[in-house]
Structure 1
Amino acid sequence: MKASIYDVANLAGVSISTVSRVLNKSGYVSSKTEKKVNDAVFKLNYIPNVVAQNLAKNETKLIGLYFPCLVDSTEILSSTYILEFIKGVNDVLIQWGYHLLLINEMNDKEQILSDKCRPQYYSFIKQNRIDGLILGSAPIACSSFLELLNLKLPMVYIGEKLFHNGLNVYAQFKQYNKDVLDYFYSRDHRHIAVIGLEERLESVIREFKDDKHNDELKVEHHFDPENVNSYLDLLKKIFTSEDKPSALLVHDLTKVQQTINFLNNIQLSVPDDVSIITIEHKYQDAEKCFPSVTSVYVPAYQMGVEAAKVLFEYLQESQGYSNEIIVDSKIIKRESVKNMTKLRNT
């Protein structure tokens, strides 16, 4: 029969609370009493209840991970960003003896923004069901999120710093998108199409065009459709018009080879007719396309590592509640971008 804490207390001749103080290393216990308790634990082969110990210390040893307005399991498994980010977080959690809890969202963005419902992570951290929280992408700035920030609860979010306080990791979304547009522009591409979900792309494109002051420059943002047929319809609309772009930024790497194949089917080749750049979250993923595709490498694994590290630093009270970690992204040049300068000079 498995020994209990009561058995340990009886054998050591002390109270249950004394056994608890020895096991949890909380409160004063004489060295003589501590030895009696430890001898009883050894003799009875007593294994403490880790969950009970954590509760006694007000800890769960769980870190919540939440991706706003996501997700079903198929979306997780198909997203390199999410998988790499989870790996990064989990590698740090293992070092600290913590476990990962993935928190799903069942409500849509509009419901959360209008305060008709709270995001799912709210009750987890408010009720101390987790020791800390990581928001794996840019948060919805709803009243629940603001409340947690004001309370300085252990929470880290991904994306640009929204307020003066809080913990965040930022891969400079605006800058690396502008870098791609600059890369195309430096190779004399003056008609560029961008396919991506982020609404923030609108402001990036607007600022880029304002900086260039070039009447020839045309940059269009197309929202990435969810299903394959709609995506192919979008490509058809873009590339069968008389005024078609010479350069294309596709945010979703999983759609790049499909895009290349579509272009080939309508007798357009990469890079001779259309230049392509994409975003990769796992190093050299875009190398697998044919032809290999120039990319911006945004290191999702490192982002996960940095998010977990800054969270634990806060939990250990080794830093204040205002820290932004910047993660660098870089363009990896491959075979998918044509330099149009020579054509313009002929």
Structure 2
Amino acid sequence: MKASIYDVANLAGVSISTVSRVLNKSGYVSSKTEKKVYDAVDKLNYIPNVVAQNLAKSETKLIGLYFPPLLDSTEILSSTYILEFIKGVNDILIQKGYHLLLINEMNDRDQILSDNCRPQYYSFIKQNRIDGLILGSAPIACSSFIELLNLKLPMVYIGEKRFHNGLNVYAQFKQYNKDVLDYFYSRGHQHVAVISLEERLESVIREYKEEKQIDELKVEHYFDPENVDSYLDLLRKIFTSEDKPSALVVHDLTKVQQTINFLNNIQLSVPDDVSIMTIEHKYQEAEKCFPSVTSVYVPAYQMGVEAAKLLFEYLQESQDYSKEMIVDSKIIERKSVKRMTEFSNN
């Protein structure tokens, strides 16, 4: 088995940081300690990590942060998820003496996926213009991304682990969406509408119904429109039909109060006529709605912190290139969900 920096540190009887200082010739280390480290390196035939060596020789003190091409600068500034995520990353960077570089995307998803062009982050990390990269959402699995994974470059992505190599932070998207459906169903709701930008929800809904073997549960997924008028038209379509749902999941918290107001205008109240749940990325943000809205709290700040920590662990050679950090979410009960019956699916 290939020796690691841990093995060198243990054999020499010193810390990992001391081994790093000796090998990178950075900072004072006594000649006695230096000899111990080199003796351990020789005995173990240890080969230092190329990434860490390059970092020590020519570091930029910049960490790149990239979000998907579907978001423009306006959406980035208004997205609670992104703002909280950036805060989490930046707090760790400040501790480490690094700066944050937000990398914009000029191309659309289809262009990147078809390999007609490379994502903007590719040249930054390949040309050593940044010391590490964090992808703030599930990556587009293009050839450029796969290449970076295979090269084991310092990069962390958000989302479920889908590759053998790589570092990722996962907030269990599938599970918390199943938890929402379970929460509604256990309270007697058998017709649920979900408004979201996530295409993945189709498979999540299908998996949930198959796992629970619930034939009577009707779940309809609607793609969240971009503009306000289209969104209101969608709500009108859903809630003026004869077979309207008793429960609604609105993934975008910024649209929840608007949704409640619309329902009130067509003489439907929350939660008496329609129960509502949402996703919140900043703790107690959905408390500000009227009525306050039951939510799944997915801590974006903590996701940013864990992503940055994972990246620095790899840069410091204290982490191999295959680790998934799981961030837990939880349902916060408020006043927007009505219990239809005492029915339970347990």
Report the CA distance shift for 1:343/1:215 in structure 2 as closer, same or farther (over 3 A).
closer
Return the letter of the residue paired with 1:284.
Q
State how far apart, in whole Å, the 1-side matches of 2:343 and 2:62 are.
Answer: 58
SS class of match (1:341): coil
**C-alpha distance in 2 between matches for 1:129 and 1:189:** 53
Which residue is 1:183 aligned to? 183
Shift of the alpha carbon at 1:319?
1.0
Q: Tell me which structure has the larger Cα radius of gyration.
A: 1
Secondary structure of the 1:242 match is: coil
Alignment partners' CA distance in 2, 1:164 and 1:72: 31
Answer whether contact 2:188 2:342 (CA < 8 A) is retained.
no
The residue that corresponds to 2:15 in the other structure is: none
Q: RMSD of the TM alignment (CA)?
A: 2.2
User: Per-residue deviation at 1:277?
Assistant: 0.3
Q: Partner amino acid for 1:263?
A: L
Q: Which residue of 2 aligns with 1:106?
A: 106
Give distance in 2, aligned partners of 1:26 and 1:275: 60
The reply on whether 1:210 has 2:206 as its aligned counterpart is no
- 1:89-238 paired onto structure 2 within 5 Å: 89-238=89-238
Structure 1 runs of 4+ with >6 Å offset: none
1:176/1:296 contact within 8 Å kept: yes
- Opposite residue 189 of structure 2, the aligned amino acid is H
User: 2:74 corresponds to which letter in structure 1?
Assistant: T
Distance 1:128 1:216, change over 3 A: same
- CA shift in 2, pair 1:27/1:273, >3 Å: closer
The structure-2 alpha-carbon separation of the partners of 1:271 and 1:100, relative to structure 1 and needing over 3 Å to count, comes to: same
Output the TM-score relative to the length of structure 2: 0.83
Is the Cα contact below 8 Å between 1:103 and 1:120 reproduced in 2? Answer: yes
Distance 2:134 2:109 in 1: 18
Contact in 1 for aligned 2:88/2:304 (Cα 8 Å): yes
SS at match of 2:307: helix
Contact 2:247 2:274 in 1 (8 A): yes
Q: For structure 2, list consecutive stretches of 5 or more residues without a partner in the other structure.
A: 1-23, 32-53
Identity %: 88
Partners of 2:166 and 2:343 in 1: CA distance: 50
**C-alpha contact (below 8 Å) 1:70/1:104 kept by paired residues:** no
Report SS of the residue matched to 1:256.
helix
Residues 228-272 of structure 1 deviation map (CA, whole Å, 9 limit, x = unaligned):
000000000000000000000100000000000000000000000
In structure 1, the gaps of 5 or more residues are 1-23, 32-53
**Corresponding residue number in structure 2 for 1:332:** 332
| Structure 2 match to 1:299 | 299
Preserved CA contact (<8 Å) 2:188 2:343: no
Which residue is equivalent to 2:247?
Answer: 247
TM-score normalized with structure 1 length: 0.83
